[in-house]
Chain A
Amino acid sequence: DAKTTQPTSMDCAEGRAANLPCNHSTISGNEYVYWYRQIHSQGPQYIIHGLKNNETNEMASLIITEDRKSSTLILPHATLRDTAVYYCIVLSSMYSGGGADGLTFGKGTHLIIQP
């Protein structure tokens, strides 16, 4: 699976859009970009994933560059409850009985939403 690089920490004002970057320059053609977050003292929470096209759901938007070497997770209107560690994970598409690798969590970005 491709390695990812994320800033260690970021601040964002409450109500503003939080833009979290992720570099994955060695990503291969069949690898997806997944985003999870972990709020303090809770288990990780799935946010969104994508392959090539930009994706949006009720939580966030995922923008993937055309060359797929980097992506940005966007929280459109950040609230204090969005303070968490955000993990960008790149891995192959669905496995099918051949053995699962599991998610590989790096250090992530600690996003702090300021009131």
Chain B
Amino acid sequence: ETGVTQSPTHLIKTRGQQVTLRCSSQSGHNTVSWYQQALGQGPQFIFQYYREEENGRGNFPPRFSGLQFPNYSSELNVNALELDDSALYLCASSMTGESYEQYFGPGTRLTVT
């Protein structure tokens, strides 16, 4: 069984730039959720994708967008980066309709300067 993987591990961007983060879900899982974790805080839900469509969204602006592909992998895109976007971005995969038992990847550390 392959776990959740994310790339890249670390990333440094400049304010105003755009970034794309990638996630491969655990084998057999059809749903991907993305979370943002600022330093010293718990993860905050950004959105979830199921059947290649957004299936739920937290309190994040539209410049946070995503994609899910037929193989269930996913991308998180952030436009017009702000300094406050500096955080650990976590991807979690699960099977929709079963439970909130989610399996997280190691995260991508994004630094915006």
Query: Which residues of A approach B to under 8 Å, CB–CB?
Result: 32, 34, 42-46, 49, 85, 87, 89, 91, 93-97, 99-108
Interface contact B102-A105, CB-CB below 8 Å: no
Q: Name B39-67 residues within 8 Å CB distance of A.
A: 41-48, 50, 55-56, 58
Interface contact B102-A46, CB-CB below 8 Å: yes
Binding site secondary structure of chain A: loop
Interface contact B42-A106, CB-CB below 8 Å: yes
Query: Which residues of B approach A to under 8 Å, CB–CB?
Result: 4, 31, 33, 35, 41-48, 50, 55-56, 58, 90, 92, 96-107
A residues within 8 A CB of B96? 95, 100
Bound-complex Cα distance A100 to B47 (A): 8
Minimum C-beta distance from B65 to chain A (A): 16
Bound-complex Cα distance A99 to B31 (A): 12
Q: Which of B43, B58, B98 contacts A44 (CB 8 A)?
A: B43
A residues within 8 A CB of B105? 43
Bound-complex Cα distance A114 to B77 (A): 41
Other A-B pairs beyond A32-B99, A99-B56, A107-B42, 13, CB < 8 Å: A43-B105, A44-B90, A93-B99, A94-B100, A95-B97, A100-B48, A100-B96, A101-B56, A102-B33, A102-B45, A102-B58, A103-B45, A107-B41
